[in-house]
Amino acid sequence: MALTDYVTLGRSGLRVSPFALGAMTFGTDPGGAGCDVAESEKILATYLERGGNFVDTANFYTNGHSEKILGDYFAARPGLRDHVVLASKFFFNMFPGDPNGGGAGRGSIIAQLHESLRRLRTDHLDVYWMHNWDKHTPIEETMRTLDDLVRAGKIRYIGFSNTPAWLTAQAHTTALLHGWTPLVALQVEYSLLARTVEGELAPFARDQGLALTPWSPLKNGFLSGKYHRGGIEVTDSARTAYVGGPSDAEFDVIEAVAEVADELSTSSAAVSLAWLRAREGTVVPLVGARRVGHLEANLAGLDVTLTTDQLRRLDAVSAPDLDYPAPMHGAQRAMLQFAGTTVDGEESTVYPALLASDVRY
């Protein structure tokens, strides 16, 4: 597989690469955890030269520097912007002391988009994400504003990130009922070490034809192959200080991934990304990098195809504990519903009480 094996982003006509490039690391302000302009441009150029076309950022990444780096790069190469799917996000407030500087109200969305377009030096965004839930704004106001911006040609498609399933469903249904622009994708935390999205949001996305674009697909680098029980191969003091290290349960998953990687003569990162690609529905992982080498290592995930047995083993070791009512929807549901038969390929056992008695009232 290659970055040029494009997929449609959910129920839309937008064609994107199977891996998106996350630009959260572009720029060194604040904190120094990102990469400088020169390295950012090398990473971007490498991704685009390989045929990648889906670039994702946000208004507050490195205090807006990420957007500016992208804008300057495309402005210096006339015509290139028209062939890139450019996405950014709104929600985070960049103006201390101004309660209307962020969130998802009408005025704040319009103002945030204006600033993003200015930094990105473009007249539109291909995908505009709500970065988080604004519980102080009616969802109807948010969705109507986004629809207005689509009709004005300022944005093309919309998506949500980090929002509760019930709110996401309400927003999407509200848009459909009013004839407004619906959601096409959800940007969610999803990896072999973060699978709770499978309780509500992932099934909703599949049902409604929405794509998933997982962020942190390597779970803060835990699935990169650097981490081993008792130590870390490559010191990353800034990240380790921020996120800590893997737990014992996470190391169980990390070691299973490394075992599969050895079987395939590839890296743990490539296996982890290949596992995401193999999930049901349209899943487009966001790969980030602070060095060109990091990007190339992640793109190796396009060359990996996991066997049925390998997928089964990885699924089993990483199985998440999901919130109620998800535990009621597995084997117990099939047992109560199908009574020992097989329906649509799903096998079931018989409820033990039925076998214990012949009495039926």
Q: Kindly report the CATH number that applies to the domain delimited by 7-320.
A: 3.20.20.100
For residue 241, what pLDDT band results from cuts at 50, 70 and 90? low
Mean pLDDT of all residues in 94-111: 97
Cα atoms in the 13 Å half-sphere on the side-chain side of 208: 24
Strand order from edge to edge, sheet including 155-161: 211-215, 183-189, 155-161, 125-130, 85-90, 54-56, 20-22, 286-287
C-alpha angle with apex 232: 228 to 235, nearest 5 degrees? 165
Torsions phi, psi of 260, nearest 5? -65, -40
Q: What is the per-residue pLDDT across 141-162, written as a single tens digit (0 to 9) for each?
A: 999 999 999 999 999 999 999 9
Domain chopping of the chain, boundaries: 7-320, 330-361
Q: What is the per-residue pLDDT across 39-49, written as a single tens digit (0 to 9) for each?
A: 999 999 999 99
Cα atoms in the 13 Å half-sphere on the side-chain side of 138: 6
For residue 251, what pLDDT band results from cuts at 50, 70 and 90? very high
- Considering 6, 47, 61, 351, which one is annotated as catalytic? 61
Report residue 336 CA to chain centroid gap. 35
Of 322, 27, 30, 335, nearest to 195 (Cα)?
322
128 catalytic, yes or no? no
DSSP summary character for residue 111: H
State the Cα–Cα distance between residues 349 and 197, nearest whole angstrom. 27
In the predicted structure, residue 75 carries a pLDDT above the cut 90: yes
Q: Specify the pTM.
A: 0.92
3-state DSSP percent of the chain in helix, strand and coil, to 5: 45, 15, 40
For residue 242, what pLDDT band results from cuts at 50, 70 and 90? low
Mean pLDDT of all residues in 52-81: 97
In the predicted structure, residue 238 carries a pLDDT above the cut 60: no
State the Cα–Cα distance between residues 287 and 271, nearest whole angstrom. 13
For residue 232, what pLDDT band results from cuts at 50, 70 and 90? low
Q: Is 346 helix (H, G, I), strand (E, B) or coil?
A: strand
Taking every pair of Cα atoms in the chain, the longest distance, rounded to a whole number of angstroms, is: 80
Mean pLDDT of all residues in 44-69: 97
Torsions phi, psi of 327, nearest 5? -60, -20
In the predicted structure, residue 306 carries a pLDDT above the cut 70: yes
Mean pLDDT of all residues in 168-174: 98
- Residue % of the chain over a pLDDT of 90: 83
Cα atoms in the 13 Å half-sphere on the side-chain side of 150: 19
In sequence order, what E strands does the chain have?
A: 7-8, 15-16, 20-22, 54-56, 85-90, 125-130, 155-161, 183-189, 211-215, 227-228, 231-232, 286-287
What angle separates helix 165-178 from helix 201-208, to the nearest 10 degrees? 20
For residue 346, what pLDDT band results from cuts at 50, 70 and 90? confident
In the predicted structure, residue 243 carries a pLDDT above the cut 90: no
